[in-house]
Amino acid sequence: MSEYKRRRFLKTTAGVAAATAAGPMLWTAKDASAQWKGAPEKGASLRVLRWSRFVQGDIDQYMVNVKKFSDQFGIPVRVDNEGWEDVRPKAAVAANTGAGPDIILGTNDDANLYPDKLVDVTDVCDYLGKKYGGWYPVCEQYLKPDGKKWIGVPLGCAGNALVYRQSMLKAAGFDGVPKDTDGFLKMMKALHGKGTPGGFALGNATGDGNTWTHWVVWAFGGKMVDQNNKVVIDSPETIRALEYAKELYGTFVPGTLSWLDPNNNKAFLDGQLSVTSNGISIYYAAKNAQDPKVKELEADIFHSNFPVGPVGRPTEFNLFFNQMIFRYTKYPKAAKEFLRFMMEQEQVNPWVTASIGYVTPALQVYEQHPVWKDPKATPYRDSMKIMLPSGYAGKMGYASAGALADFIIVNMVAEAASGSKSPKEAAERAQKRAERYYKV
């Protein structure tokens, strides 16, 4: 898949600490064709809009890197932050009106809504791909829609994994999370039996609701659309997934139907949950907690990837991050230089360290980053590798974005799980709702 032949990992005994210090070279590119010649416009200045941090270390180190760029190239950069859900409409308006930030860090299928409004960044992506072991295949599905031209530079994803309390799993007779869906259900039942249930968000939670419900549907072979964007959600596979979700729901802590994104974090950190699905932020919060009760959880919190269902391969859904340069920018070369610079290992290494792996980088070489050596963080290392794209298995665009924003999958799973509809009815309703987006 990549031209990267052999990765050389220069072992740094200092590990994480060393990576923080001004980014030592952790590996050197073997592909000599990875050459970059940038020529930013004279007198350029840049405005960047990005999603606000989930963990403080992310933004702190990001800004250090930005300053480094400004110092080195003499290009002032202004960075604005917005909640990640607010970036999408702003980016779309910027694309439509032809005015706004030069660079926007967006999420999921944003770039596919206005591909012709974006600067072709194939040169940057080719260079970075060659130098750093290639992009994960899912990046191309997101940002190389025609298979030739990159419309954005992949940044990575906020990985979602199962967050669990090891002591509670042990008490229920499990050393770790089983690798298959049947074993997982058994574990959830055992935890429930012990009075230490898990719980997953089933309210209209944009992040935590979407991630695990997509996983469960995909794990059994269900999918919203086929490769031709034909809606096929009402399928026997989906119904099996919904029956499974119903059994799983029976083991949940009460109240998950109302859960929005913050609920599972709060409940977990209060010690009320044994398992949930989340980014590394729960662990980060425990690790940095002032409250000794919360701090105590740090040692007991472990992570695991989601179990694999009957389809026989991982089917995770993570929040993908892209970096787009808009055509209206006066300084496309400076913008490219900025993205190239920010993706070089000197910048990425300390940034990944500072955010303890909240964002899994999109370039494969970063799998060797020392942050993943911490067994607590290892599952997040593979988030890019094992995820399926938004709108799977079809093409991305307005229909996939609309269907996701309307919580069709979340609502379907919630209806079936809670028993308010039978799995068949829930799947039929989802089919009808999705067909409206995919205009049958």
| Contact footprint for other proteins (CB under 8 A) | 85, 88-89, 91-93, 95-96, 113-114, 117, 202-206, 253-260, 263, 266-267, 270, 272, 398, 401-402, 405-407, 411, 414-415, 418, 420, 429, 432-433, 436
Q: DSSP string spanning 141-159?
A: HHH-TTSS--SSEEEEEE-
435: Cβ contacts below 8 Å, ≥ 6 apart = 231
Residue 202 beta carbon to other proteins: minimum distance, rounded to whole angstroms: 7
CB of 254 to other proteins, least distance (A): 6
254 or 292: whose CB is closer to other proteins?
254
Q: Smallest distance from the beta carbon of 270 to other proteins, in angstroms?
A: 7
Nearest residue (CB) to other proteins, 33 versus 420: 420
Cα–Cα distance between 76 and 325 in angstroms, integer? Answer: 16
Say how far apart CA 434 and CA 109 lie, in whole Å: 17
Tokens of residue 152, six digits: 């954005």
Q: Which amino acid is at 45?
A: S
Residue closer to other proteins (CB basis): 202 or 363: 202
* Cβ-based nearer residue to other proteins, 149 or 432: 432
Q: Whole-angstrom distance between the N-terminal and C-terminal Cα of the chain?
A: 36
Min dist CB 96 to other proteins, Å, is: 4
Beta bridge partners of 180: 308
Which of 7/436 has CB closer to other proteins? Answer: 436
- Tell the smallest beta-carbon distance from residue 42 to other proteins (Å): 31
201/301 with CB nearer other proteins: 201
3-state secondary structure of 175: coil
Contact between 229 and 438 under an 8 Å Cβ cutoff? The reply is yes
CB of 66 to other proteins, least distance (A): 26
